A = this chain, B = another copy of it.
Amino acid sequence: MEEELLMIPGPVPVLPRIREAMTKPMIFHRGDEFGAMYEEIVETLKDIYQTRNDLFVLSGSGTCAMEAAIGNLVSNETKLVCITIANGKFGERFGEIAVRYKADAVTPVNVNVNFEWGHSIELEAVKEALENSSSSDPKSKIVTMVHNETSTGILNPAKEVGKLARKHDAVFVLDCITSIGGDKVPVDELGADIAIVGSQKCLGAPPGLSALSVSEHAWEMIRENERRPYYMDLIAYKKSLEKKQTPYTPALPLFFALHEALAVIREEGMENRIERHRGMAKTVRDAVTGLGLRLFPKLNEVSDYSNTVTAIEIPIADGSITDEQLRGGMRKRGVIVAGGQGKLKGKIFRIATMGNITEREVMKTIQVLEEVLVGNEFIKK
């Protein structure tokens, strides 16, 4: 049987050479060989991030790193306001996590700046939230945002929100899980104090690892928090990194694979890689609109279409095709695309163009999509 083509926003298909790297025998996780590999991974990721901040790799998914960010900064003991900006599922996840760490019935310490899923973030509302949520301590705000909102295919204004956060001396947490490695994300220039990436997205590695960078501004807040999570304790990660180790046993085969995936990225070059990602996303957008479908995101002057995942409306209003007909039809032809999540289930579908996917796979996806649309008489031939 032919392999299925995964065109979902992670896990992405993984090149054979990267999968082969996982067959290496286990090594002593406190030895020099691991140390050298971990250091090289960290340094390469810092280059990709364009950051001078500390950076760590966690043995856990992107959600693990999102919780690491919130949990290390926030606790009921710390006097801070957590402002979560959201226009999709993953933006809202930050808000859900914040409630677990800091829920106070008396003072509203969690401020959600929510926009309709698929709509753009409006800077005016962010500005207002920052101005109105003043606290006794001026260094007491954190702002979270998802850079590339995978649930809706929108690229959020990291630079602009970063500027606003800096103006209010807030710690800016940016989820770049599905942008770093595929799009331009100059972390320090964007003013992201904590920036997160997942292994199984644009980096082209298998799922199971995530990384995050931490600025001095974020450390100041983290050091004040004695109720940090344990497995994700960033201070423990920092101490261990000095010995080129992780605080708890690392998921070795995934480190071998990430190391190889980063070698692939170095060989391609980040400029070329970003160009390729942008090209593939544009191909998808052009093709689907050419087929008579509509893109889901509602853009404004500071937002853009995602360069790594395209969200497309299922033309249910026309009664012409259902989610099951569309995605089920594509699946039968060997191509897996993603559905809508949560309240968007059945309303949109999503084609990811992440990692080491090429134009060839993109063309196959488009061709299969067209076949299904023709088969369901959405397009008359």
Residues on A lying within 8 angstroms of B by beta carbon are 3-4, 6, 8, 10-14, 16, 19-20, 22-29, 31, 59-64, 66-67, 71, 76, 96-97, 100-101, 103, 198, 200, 206-209, 226-232, 248-254, 257, 336
Contact = CB atoms under 8 A, between A and B. Distances in A.
Given A8-B28, A208-B250, 16 more contacts: A4-B28, A12-B26, A19-B22, A19-B24, A22-B253, A23-B23, A31-B336, A59-B59, A59-B61, A61-B248, A62-B249, A63-B230, A207-B249, A208-B254, A251-B251, A251-B254
A96 B23 CA distance: 35
A70 to B, nearest CB: 8
A25 B3 contact: yes
A132 B281 CA distance: 65
Contact of A59 (B10, B19, B60): B60
Contacts of A254: 208, 251, 253-254
A207 B252 contact: yes
A231 B61 contact: yes
B25 A14 contact: yes
Contacts of A230: 63, 66-67, 96-97, 100
SS of A interface (majority): loop
Contact of A28 (B59, B208, B250, B336): B336
B231 A63 contact: yes
A25 B13 CA distance: 7
21 contacts: A3-B25, A4-B28, A6-B26, A11-B29, A19-B23, A22-B23, A60-B231, A61-B231, A61-B249, A61-B251, A62-B249, A63-B230, A64-B248, A97-B230, A100-B229, A100-B230, A207-B250, A208-B249, A208-B254, A231-B232, A253-B257
A22 to B, nearest CB: 4
A178 to B, nearest CB: 12
A352 to B, nearest CB: 12
B252 A11 contact: yes
A67 B103 contact: no
A198 B29 CA distance: 15
A20 B22 CA distance: 8
A253 B63 contact: no
Contacts of A227: 100-101, 103
Contacts of A67: 229-231
Contacts of A96: 230
B28 A206 contact: no
Nearest to A19: B23
A249 to B, nearest CB: 5
Contacts of A31: 336
Contacts of A103: 226-227
- The 3 A-B residue pairs with the shortest CB-CB distance, nearest first, are A208-B251, A22-B22, A63-B248
Nearest to A96: B230
A29 B207 contact: yes
A376 to B, nearest CB: 22
A138 to B, nearest CB: 27
A27 B10 CA distance: 10
Contacts of A23: 16, 19-20, 22-23
Given A25-B3, A28-B336, A253 B61 contact: no
